Amino acid sequence: MSAEDPGSGDDILLRTEGRAGYLTLNRPKALNALTHAMVLRIDEALTAWEHDPAVETVVIRGAGERGLCAGGDIRAIHEDARTGGTASADFWRDEYRLNARIARYPKPYVALMDGIVMGGGVGVSAHGTVRVVAERSRVAMPETGIGFVPDVGGTYLLGLAPGELGVHLALTGAVVGAADALLCGLADHFVPSERLPELADDLARTSVHGALARHVQTPPPGGLASAREWIDPCCAADTVEEIHARLLDSGVPAAKQTADLLLAKSPTALKVTLASVRRARRLGPLERVLEQEYRVSCAALASPDLMEGIRAQVIDKDRTPRWSPATLAEVGAADVDRFFAPLGDRELRLAGPASSQEVPW
């Protein structure tokens, strides 16, 4: 393949060197946000490299200094929701298939999660076999702030986090650094940002284990481990209302701040998110969770809160969304259940075995 050229205008840069295939998301001015075409191009590259014996390792990274990927193109989602189109559902169908493929990829898939890694950026990295964070890493699933629900397998990953940390991150959309990403199972190793280029180069010449051994270090301390003293008992409650009440009553200033933060999120998105994470824990393999997320995402596309959240945060930037319903008390069980309703012939069907904990290298 041709050498990478960040100025080429291509949104995906592909290069092979030695034993590695390098995949670079190349929309730095848009924080490398994913488009449908980028998802399809990544999938094509994975197909080519899966069958190329010269490629032993795949490396994904982001162009520029700001991050791997900030998610999907939510302006496009807003326009699609406004016009009643199908482009978003079509995009999610292929994106979630790609997420599942990354999780099952037969060769080491190394994600360099430097800088901002949010939403869809988590989907193309945190399902990989080796996830590397740095001191600049900012990892999050911030969907409830725009009236949406964590997707791209996010509810699967957060459902596996220790205690109730996953529920906390899903509801609040809180951004975590390297140590907390490691604690929550969203990453595997810490490498300082300045050493990531050398790590990437080493992967062309040696095994993944050999390259990591040269560069992995201990991350700066995080904050979630100690915060579990209040996060776990508060977020173990059965409902968002009770979680909010426990946060207020805990007497911990950080918990009170979290309670206030929740009130700024979409009430519907909060309740659907809690149900999504709790259901994900019972569904089994990633594929089943992605199927559930597809139902939820398609339902959200028809919900007023998604359009309103994107409007307030991205289009008009007034930061004052008018949620409908406006309060948690107004969101009933039927309102939540409809997000999980079967889609009939529009279902995302991802047949696959349960995940093995063994890696083939």
For the annotated catalytic residues, the residue numbers are 72, 120, 143, 151
List the alpha helices (DSSP H) in the chain. 36-50, 74-83, 87-103, 120-123, 154-159, 165-172, 178-183, 196-202, 208-215, 224-235, 240-249, 253-262, 267-283, 286-301, 304-310, 333-337
Residue 234 phi, psi (nearest 5): -75, -45
Beta bridge partners of 110: 59, 130
Q: Which two tokens stand for residue 355?
A: 């995940």
* Closest by Cα among 150, 97, 118, 139 to 280: 150
* Closest by Cα among 211, 209, 261, 213 to 234: 261
Within 10 angstroms of residue 319's Cβ, the number of other Cβ atoms is 9
Residue 325: cis peptide before it, omega within 30 degrees of 0: yes
Helix axes of 240-249 and 165-172: crossing angle, nearest 10 degrees: 100
Handedness of CA 191, 196, 200, 206 (dihedral sign): negative
How far apart (Å, rounded) are the C-alpha atoms in residues 112 and 126?
10
